[in-house]
Amino acid sequence: MAARVQFASGEYVPLEMHKVRVVQKLNLLPVEERLKAVEGAGYNTFLLQNRDVFLDMLTDSGTNAMSDQQIASMMVADDAYAGSASYARLYEAIVEIFGTEYFLPAHQGRAAEHIISQVFIPRSGVVPMNFHFTTTKAHIELAGGQIAELFTDEALKIKSDFPFKGNLDIAKLKALIAKVGKQNVPYVRMEAGTNLIGGQPFSIANMRDVRKVCDDHGLLIVLDVSLIAENVYFIKTREEEFKDADVKTIIRAMCDLADIIYFSARKVCCARGGGIATRSKELYLKMRDLVPLFEGFLTYGGMSVREIEAMAVGLRETLDMDMISQSPQFIKYLVDQLDAGGVPVVTPAGGLGCHLDAMGFLPHVPQLQYPAGALGTALFIISGIRGMERGTISMDRDADGNDVPSEVELLRLAMPRRVFTLSQVKYVEDRVKWLYANRELVGGLEFYDEPKVLRFFVGRLRPTGDWPQKLIAKFRQDFPNGV
Ligand code: F0G
């Protein structure tokens, strides 16, 4: 693992183990124009046009830089409705890396969640998990089930040095099964690199314990491996037993403990697609017929063959420690700099992005005025950096129409793999620190157009008062000639 070097000054700096061979021009609009852009987007960073964004840290989904080998593989894609050679190459990569004989392609991660939920949730039941992801929860509820998040006490602490905040609490799992009855637990879900609490990993020791409880009760484990590469990186660097193990061994150790594995290739493969893998023919056959119905034939599953080729190569590249170290090390650099500057940020650094704690950042903004959403729009206005709200806006209302305050209010600054340079990361650090110094100028948001399901995607909001104008006035005072 070479992507972190000591400079002569003694400072440790992440070092890119790749070179840039294709570039995309970026725009850095003047602050006044960014305000107009965010107004047009209903103060929702999902609705911004990418041409108005300088650094797009909304997500790492489908936005990772592809390798030369991935692009090259797309040129030999085999266009066939059925029996494509591209699919055969992807299948081989799946078997080699996950050790699963059966595979079902799906056009992205949530399509896999749709199929799994429809097949295994019989209109009711509780799915225990280390933490939910938005689309996972929506699909489980659509199928008539509920989720139960059984995270440990460390998971939601903003400042922590606990290495495995993504662990599932075993005592809570046993208690839940005793309470609802194992017949009402369709499966237990583990999410590698737990997205919504900051890309935090679980340990293999924890997953072994989950397996033991599931075996005792005859329950299935469904493992979401969308962020497995980063979880592996943390197991290798934090779990003593695996410090000398290679990436493949660690991936296999995780996958061997699960019955069904699914993923978003938009993350783990640096391509665009998804799929479901299992060692069990019986489980495979239960799910198989839904693929042609919802996705496409069994050898393309709604994906382009070019993306299927890129997925196969991208999956193999996750075995390269240089490749999978890059993003966690850049994230750690940013988190450590912000933490040292007193900015409230989730620690230890996770594997998806840098997560700002909006309640600590903007304690004067009430939670039902959406501090994480407000922080996201304020940061965009003063910097052109686009993050993603992961707080109460990302929770839909309850059956009575009440807001459901999220346990944490985070602004996620995702670090797509191999995309940003260190000077761009330093720009993020600088502008976040400036905003923190001027945080009292930031106010809240309120909805004026609010969809019922997954409202964070297309809902529109407005500021509570004229705080954006005041923020710009201060920015202009501090940076008279800057953008
Ligand atoms: N599971 C996890 C852990 C995810 O992070 C995502 C997507 C999905 C499932 C759904 O996959 O987008 O391919 O349908 N996460 C994206 C994000 C959307 O921005 O974090 P998908």
**What's the pLDDT at 457?**
96
**Average pLDDT in the 23-50 region?**
97
**What's the pLDDT at 5?**
87
**What's the pLDDT at 453?**
87
Please give the full DSSP string across 263-274, using - where no structure is assigned. EEHHHHTSSS-E
Confirm whether 462 is a catalytic residue: no
Q: How far does the centroid of ligand 1 lie from the alpha carbon of residue 301, in Å? A: 17
Q: How far does the centroid of ligand 1 lie from the alpha carbon of residue 32, in Å? A: 33
Looking at every residue in the chain, the average pLDDT score rounds to 96
Longest CA–CA separation in the chain, Å: 67
> Among candidates 301, 98, 290, 117, which has minimal Cα distance to 220?
117
Percentage of the chain beyond pLDDT 90 is 96
Atom of ligand 1 nearest to the CA of 191: 3
> Among candidates 127, 172, 163, which has minimal Cα distance to 145?
127
Confirm whether 215 is a catalytic residue: no
What is the spatial distance between Cα 133 and Cα 226, in angstroms, rounded to a whole number? 11
What is the spatial distance between Cα 159 and Cα 338, in angstroms, rounded to a whole number? 12
**What's the pLDDT at 483?**
83
Six token digits for residue 428: 């993020």
- Determine which residue's CA is closest to atom 12 belonging to ligand 1: 109
**Average pLDDT in the 374-396 region?**
96
- Determine which residue's CA is closest to atom 20 belonging to ligand 1: 59
What is the spatial distance between Cα 23 and Cα 14, in angstroms, rounded to a whole number? 21
C-beta separation of 250 from 232 below 8 A: yes
Residues in CB range of 192: below 8 A, 6 or more apart: 166, 201, 202, 223, 224, 225, 226, 227, 228, 230, 231, 254
Domains belonging to the chain, first-starting first, are 4-60+321-478 (3.90.1150.10), 68-317 (3.40.640.10)
From the centroid of its chain, how far is CA 359? Answer: 21
Active-site entry in 134, 135, 237, 464: 134
C-beta separation of 288 from 266 below 8 A: no
Confidence of residue 481 (pLDDT cuts 50, 70, 90): confident
Neighbour-count burial of 170, counting CB atoms closer than 10 A to its CB (0-12 exposed, 13-18 middle, 19+ buried)? middle
**What's the pLDDT at 341?**
98
> Among candidates 161, 141, 136, 165, which has minimal Cα distance to 153?
165
> Among candidates 258, 275, 317, 297, which has minimal Cα distance to 72?
317
**Average pLDDT in the 150-173 region?**
97
Six token digits for residue 307: 């993306």
Tokens 């592809």 correspond to 66
**What's the pLDDT at 4?**
80
Percentage of the chain beyond pLDDT 70 is 99
What is the spatial distance between Cα 63 and Cα 247, in angstroms, rounded to a whole number? 23
**What's the pLDDT at 215?**
98
* Ligand 1, pocket-test mutation among 107, 110, 127, most atoms within 8 A of CB: 110
Confidence check: pLDDT of 13 > 70: yes
Confirm whether 98 is a catalytic residue: no
List pLDDT tens digits, range 189-240.
Answer: 999 999 999 999 999 999 999 999 999 999 999 999 999 999 999 999 999 9
- Determine which residue's CA is closest to atom 19 belonging to ligand 1: 59
Please give the full DSSP string across 283-342, using - where no structure is assigned. HHHHHHTHHHHHT--TTTTT--HHHHHHHHHHHHHTT-HHHHHHHHHHHHHHHHHHHHTT
Six token digits for residue 75: 């040129």
**What's the pLDDT at 396?**
86
Confidence of residue 304 (pLDDT cuts 50, 70, 90): very high
C-beta separation of 17 from 422 below 8 A: no
Please report, for the chain, how many H helices and E strands are present, in that order.
Answer: 19, 16
C-beta separation of 2 from 410 below 8 A: no
**What's the pLDDT at 124?**
95
C-beta separation of 123 from 143 below 8 A: yes
Q: How far does the centroid of ligand 1 lie from the alpha carbon of residue 228, in Å? A: 12
How many Å from the N-terminal Cα to the C-terminal Cα in the chain? 38
List pLDDT tens digits, range 102-155.
Answer: 999 999 999 999 999 999 998 999 999 999 999 999 999 999 999 999 999 999
**What's the pLDDT at 1?**
58
Q: How far does the centroid of ligand 1 lie from the alpha carbon of residue 227, in Å? A: 9
What three-state secondary structure class fits 169? coil
C-beta separation of 454 from 133 below 8 A: no
Helix (H) / strand (E) containing 103: strand 102-106
Confidence check: pLDDT of 335 > 60: yes
Atom of ligand 1 nearest to the CA of 388: 19
What is the spatial distance between Cα 46 and Cα 39, in angstroms, rounded to a whole number? 12
Helix (H) / strand (E) containing 118: helix 109-120
C-beta separation of 198 from 352 below 8 A: yes
Active-site entry in 89, 110, 267, 412: 267
Confidence check: pLDDT of 3 > 80: no
Residues in CB range of 431: below 8 A, 6 or more apart: 379, 382, 383, 385
C-beta separation of 139 from 162 below 8 A: no
* Ligand 1, pocket-test mutation among 267, 295, 454, most atoms within 8 A of CB: 267
Strands of 401-442 (E only): list them: 410-414
**What's the pLDDT at 2?**
56
Which residues have CB under 6 Å of ligand 1? 59, 61, 108-110, 133, 135, 191, 195, 224, 226-227, 264, 266, 274
Q: How many CB atoms lie within 10 A of CB 423?
A: 7
List pLDDT tens digits, range 417-469.
Answer: 999 999 999 999 999 999 999 999 999 999 999 999 889 999 999 999 999 99
